[in-house]
Copies of this chain bind each other. A is one copy, B any other.
Amino acid sequence: MIKAAIMGYGNLGKGVEKALVKAEDMELVGVFTRRDPAGVKVDSGAKAFHADDLENMKDDIDVLIICGGSATDLPEMTPKYAAMYNVIDSFDTHANIPVHFKNVDEAAKKAGKIGIISCGWDPGMFSLNRLYAHSVLPGGKDYTFWGKGVSQGHSDAIRRIEGVADARQYTVPVPEALEAVRKGENPELTTRQKHTRLCYVVAKEGADKDKITEEIVNMPNYFADYDTTVNFITAEEMAANHSGLPHGGSVIYSGSTGDGTNKHVIEYSLKLDSNPEFTGSVLVAYARAAVRMNKAGDSGAKTVFDVAPALLSPLSGEEIRAHML
């Protein structure tokens, strides 16, 4: 049995826990938190520990799955714990991946451990599909569409506006853009032409709804470059219709062979009822691979690109060749 532990117990940590419970070859040693562990109720009944306990549990944990935020948690945590454990994270601040990779690589190599970074579905499964497609059909073009799905970052941004009690933001691909890309037309698309943003907002009593709408649609980085629709709903409607965290999207690659006359379109798409539970499931499969790579003598920072697919499955080589090849 692979002994896995979770660092951080928010939506993602709970998704990882659910995936670990289903993994027959893995067990959950415990959940680690920077809060008081006495106040953390772990769904599966596993023990809650304080993060400081990680200093003294090196023999008890084969892989630590770090479920923190990319802005401040992971840049500090992943290199720190890669110096002690095989680790994996879902770091997704694209511009900072080279620095994060370097920091994790140095710590992990020194400790003789594996650190897989930027794992999940984007970055993660979507990245794999971009790489496979570019490698097989060089010179083509990849498009990534997200949604329809809840963006937690955009929902949080709306919640910070004065007069907003609650909010949920859906990212929605523009159907005409999707269609053109699927046909292999290789269109040039602006940000606005690819996605729209659909917001459901519960306003506080007496709040100025027009002012809230103006603040949302003009918010730089988050909404200003998109066509945004704002719908005001009641707290009851929010609870009844928008409590889930669905997401998904497509990576579509359009390439050609020979002199370019034969065109090929490759599409990978996800429709997910729960973004954190699916992301957690990806992390658990790659946590298994991290332990196996380390046992085979490898160390340093890795991404999904470096992991042979067979390492993700609990089944043997014979079994996967017989049933999936």
User: What's the least CB distance linking A249 to chain B, in Å?
Assistant: 12
- Asked if A98 is an interface residue, CB under 8 A from chain B, the answer is yes
In the assembly, how many copies of this chain are there?
2
Please tell me if the beta carbons of B138 and A23 are within 8 angstroms of each other in the complex: yes
Point out the residue from B132, B310, B321 that lies within 8 Å of A98, measured CB to CB: B321
Point out the residue from B19, B258, B303 that lies within 8 Å of A277, measured CB to CB: B258
User: What's the least CB distance linking A118 to chain B, in Å?
Assistant: 6
Please tell me if the beta carbons of A258 and B18 are within 8 angstroms of each other in the complex: yes
Residues of B within 8 A of A277 (CB): 257-258, 262
- Asked if A273 is an interface residue, CB under 8 A from chain B, the answer is yes
Size bracket, chain A contacts: 35 or more
Residue of B nearest to A182 (CB): B271
- Asked if A125 is an interface residue, CB under 8 A from chain B, the answer is yes
Please tell me if the beta carbons of B136 and A285 are within 8 angstroms of each other in the complex: yes
Point out the residue from B142, B262, B267, B312 that lies within 8 Å of A135, measured CB to CB: B312
User: What's the least CB distance linking A110 to chain B, in Å?
Assistant: 19
User: What's the least CB distance linking A314 to chain B, in Å?
Assistant: 8
Please tell me if the beta carbons of B257 and A265 are within 8 angstroms of each other in the complex: no
Query: A325 and B97 in contact (CB under 8 A), knowing A131-B312, A308-B305, A308-B306?
Result: yes
Please tell me if the beta carbons of A265 and B271 are within 8 angstroms of each other in the complex: yes
A-to-B contact residues, CB < 8 Å: 15, 18-19, 22-24, 94, 97-98, 101, 118, 123, 125, 127-132, 134-139, 142, 184, 244, 256-258, 261-274, 277-278, 280-282, 285, 303-310, 312-314, 317-318, 320-322, 324-325
